[in-house]
Amino acid sequence: MTLLDDEVERHVVSRPDSAPSRSPLRLRVATVPPSAAVLALALALGTALRFVRLGAVGLNSDEAVYAAQAASLTGNAHFTTIFPVVRAHPLLLQVLISPFYAHGVPDTPGRYVTAAFGLGTVVLTYVVGRVLYHPLVGALGALLLAVMPYQVVLSRQIMLDGPMAFFVTAALLFVALGAQRRDGRWLVAAGAALGLATLTKEPAVIMLGSCFAFLALTTRITRPLRHPLTGAGVAVGLTLAYPLLTAVAGGGHGGASYLLWQLSREPNHTFAFYFTTVGVAMGVGTLLIAIAGLVAFRHMLTWRETLLLSWLLAPLAYFEVWPTKGFSYLAALAPVVALLAAVALVRLGWFAGRRRLVALALAAGCAVSLLVPSVLGIVNPTTSGLAGAGGTPGGRAVGRWVARHSPADAQFMTIGPSMANLVQYYGGRRADGLSVSPNPLHRNPSYAPIRNADLALRDGTYQYIVWDTYSASRSSHFSRRAKNLVRRFHGIPVHTERTGSGKLLVVVYAVTPR
């Protein structure tokens, strides 16, 4: 027996055989909380968590790159000479936010766009849960996603993964509608959504594997074959649009360089990274409830769970095998985790007596356990130490100081490319990182290595050295190297950034050629 029988009224959750018999009307009133109220709470909390204090912390390195690409697309003179348009990823998000970066040096407008995508993903999660199960499942899944720290922090940044997750969730909705109605034409719409997701960030093409895995494991959509093939063709066609247009525009060599760099990057985290760091951000309680629900209610599993698990496990396996692991890479999986937890809670809450009370307590506790760290992260934003996991305190202030107090032709040496990007974004001055490898296989093609730092300082190529605690925490070797260069070339601190409690964040040194 499934949670929702295809033959019963859409407003009534089907009952396991062990549950007491009740009339549909009484069941609806007595056991199903008002899903509209839960959804309203999800939208209210989701809106507040994504839009409040968006400008409290300056951009991080990745955000600076994407925002600068958007500005370069519009011909903004502050960025065009430093930040190239063609870099590692497609440009759909950059095109969408580019009107906000045509003039000056704005930073936060793009965050409002990505926050809107994040809130849209919450809405789509509700719709997916409603289509697959029941409005209550959708509303509870939307609530868990709305307050999930992982999804909140990604929605508050100019990152590609949040908008990509929106389009991937739209594709999930279309596949669910196709399976629900046994109509393969929805797969064409799913292919278009996946194509847009891939134009946002190319790893989204992996979700085609999830689609075909679901089609292979179920018989919900079997005929005609032209529908899944057409959907796949639409997705692949949109995916190829960016590299083809780039090649025609003369940027094919740069695109090939980025691809070679991505394929040759060394592992940056252990295999446990996604289960520990990202799992904690998604919520340990949420994950445990989702897993426990699959085990405890395994006799109720249907094509619906097959779809969600296909959507979850195929990309997880890919990113686990892929050597380079990023905090934001699993953004598209967060809605599935929230829905699986919501299904488990609703199924548990179906039973009368203590089990229902346990379900209500678990739902409330899970939501609160996600809400508290999300709120704390907004009230007291701090540097995460993980690329793409948060803003960089002090970076915006230092960049603006550079713009006001350094010569227009000054060049800066930093520990790594993260702070260099911020100096270039806010300050408009050229900056290079000591940690950038001279081996082209081991560096982002956009970054230029400093092959001989001593010689470059003696010749006066660089007039300033920037030390920052974020980069120092990631590379103690190059932090020491920067400090040694400061001592050798009589560095004088000309600007310092600290936290409100006095913790040192960034120091800018003026150096003297020898």
> How many CB atoms are located within 10 Å of the residue 337 CB?
26
Highest mean pLDDT among 245-249, 261-265, 286-290, 500-504: 286-290
When divided into structural domains, the chain yields a total of: 2
- With 80 as the cut, is the pLDDT of residue 276 above it? yes
Same domain, 230 and 356: yes
Pairing of strands 492-498, 430-433: unpaired
Strand order in the sheet with 504-510: 430-433, 411-414, 464-468, 504-510, 492-498
For residues 486-504, average pLDDT: 93
Q: What is the pLDDT of residue 3?
A: 41
- With 50 as the cut, is the pLDDT of residue 179 above it? yes
Q: What is the pLDDT of residue 250?
A: 54
For residues 188-194, average pLDDT: 97
Task: Give me the helices (H) in 61-101, please.
Answer: 61-73, 77-80, 92-97
Q: What is the pLDDT of residue 351?
A: 66
Q: Is the pTM of this model over 0.85?
A: yes
Which token pair is 170?
């739209």
Give domain status of residue 151, yes or no: yes
- With 80 as the cut, is the pLDDT of residue 28 above it? no
Contacts (Cβ under 8 Å, ≥6 apart) of 152:
49, 50, 118, 374, 377, 378
Give domain status of residue 416, yes or no: yes
Q: What percent of the chain has pLDDT over 90?
A: 70
List pLDDT tens digits, range 361-419: 999 999 999 999 999 888 877 544 444 556 677 899 999 999 999 999 999 999 999 99
Give domain status of residue 15, yes or no: no
Same domain, 366 and 410: no
List pLDDT tens digits, range 193-207: 999 999 999 999 999
Same domain, 246 and 313: yes
Give domain status of residue 386, yes or no: no
List pLDDT tens digits, range 412-451: 999 999 999 999 999 999 999 999 988 876 777 778 899 9
Same domain, 298 and 425: no
Domain that residue 115 falls in: 110-379
Same domain, 327 and 454: no
Same domain, 340 and 405: no
Same domain, 347 and 466: no
Last residue of a domain, one of 379, 404, 420: 379
Read off the pLDDT band of 354 (50, 70, 90): confident
Q: What is the pLDDT of residue 29?
A: 38
Give domain status of residue 55, yes or no: no
* 350 three-class SS: coil
List pLDDT tens digits, range 461-482: 999 999 999 899 889 999 999 9
Q: What is the pLDDT of residue 444?
A: 76
List pLDDT tens digits, range 240-270: 887 777 666 555 555 556 666 666 677 777 8
For residues 13-27, average pLDDT: 39
List pLDDT tens digits, range 61-113: 999 999 999 999 999 999 999 998 877 678 999 999 999 999 999 999 999 99
Same domain, 152 and 221: yes
For residues 225-253, average pLDDT: 79
Read off the pLDDT band of 225 (50, 70, 90): confident
Contacts (Cβ under 8 Å, ≥6 apart) of 335:
121, 124, 125, 128, 141, 145, 165, 169, 172
Q: What is the pLDDT of residue 126?
A: 98
- With 70 as the cut, is the pLDDT of residue 57 above it? yes
The 3-state DSSP composition of the chain as helix, strand, coil percent (nearest 5) reads 65, 5, 30
Task: Give me the helices (H) in 201-264, please.
Answer: 207-217, 226-248, 252-264
- With 60 as the cut, is the pLDDT of residue 11 above it? no
Same domain, 350 and 213: yes
Last residue of a domain, one of 329, 350, 379: 379
Average pLDDT, the chain: 87
Task: For residue 20, give the nearest of 355, 318, 335 by alpha carbon.
Answer: 355
